[in-house]
Amino acid sequence: MSQELPYKLDGSGRLHGRVAVVTGSSSGMGRAIALAIGREGAHVVCSDLKAEAAQHGFEHDRAIPTHTVIANNGGKSAFQKCDMGKTEEIWSLIDFAVKEFGKLDILVNNAGLWLPLRDFVEETDEMWDAMMGINGKGCATSMRQAIKQFLRQPVDPKSGCRGRIVNISSSAGIVAIRREATYAASKAAVSMLTKNVALDHAKDAINVNAVCPGVVRTAMSSTNFNDPLIIAEMKKGTPWPRLGEPNDIANVVVFLLTDEAQWVTGQNIAVDGGFTVGIPL
């Protein structure tokens, strides 16, 4: 059994009864987001390349798949495999959510690709294609399919919208970070895509926002977090007196999905301990 706090089963959760898809949900930020959404009463479709968490991650309960953690705590959840680099699998993911739970209210685009740091000249066309294909095109495709479903649904009288999307971009999409050129370009694309899609579909009562994390301790970044020298450098660039944890991101994502954020759309919110504000002395 997970040590997570019990899920709200009394209908008081801020996302009670809503249906959410969270990509990249098996580990790290995606896992924290899926669990946080589940605690607020949403039915969660967890999606990733595999259900099992990365065992080199930092979650205390990583032996238990995310959707099982939610179910063990009394929530409703299911897993659907999806490679965000494959269009047909993205279509199937959205279809699965609707067939499983009857509708779709929320999409969180968290899945992404990051590669170890290297100078731009050392990057390859294959790296570019993979990064842009997953982080850029994959995000666009899933948003498009989700919006098609949202437009089949009426405006919900309680939430005041047809659906909500939160994309996980990056602080690297806001400021230049050495040795992350292609990754940064892909995340800048996500941030601008967020603004444009929000503008196109505000008239349809669809909220589209992005969260731009700073340095967060996850399995994907474990190469950095297992190196004391890199940790020291990351701390130098983060004004807040600690680096980030997945729940720091999940808490802001949940807010953007709640009715309190009904009038927030097209925003890229940096959650980074002040990283994008400036370099501390």
Residue 183 known to be catalytic: yes
Which single residue is written with the structure tokens 């990754």? 183
Q: By C-alpha distance, which of 218, 201, 246 is closest to 37?
A: 246
The CA-atom distances, in angstroms, between 200 and each of 95, 193, 205, 265 are: 23, 11, 10, 11
Q: In whole angstroms, give the CA distance from residue 255 to residue 72.
A: 24
Report whether 34 contacts 2 (CB < 8 A).
Answer: no
Alpha-carbon distance of 120 to 124, in angstroms, equals 9
Tokens of 275: 């990283």
Cβ atoms of residues 199 and 266 within 8 Å? yes
CA-based nearest residue to 254, from 1, 93, 39, 68: 39
CA proximity to 180, closest of 114, 84, 240: 114
Cβ atoms of 205 and 155 closer than 8 Å: yes
Using CB atoms within 10 A of its CB, is residue 258 exposed (0-12), middle (13-18) or buried (19+)? middle
Of 7, 79, 96, 183, the active-site residue reads: 183
The beta-strand segments (E) located in 16-65 are 19-23, 43-48
Question: Can you list the alpha helix ranges (DSSP code H) found in 48-177?
Answer: 66-72, 87-101, 125-131, 139-150
Catalytically annotated residues: 183
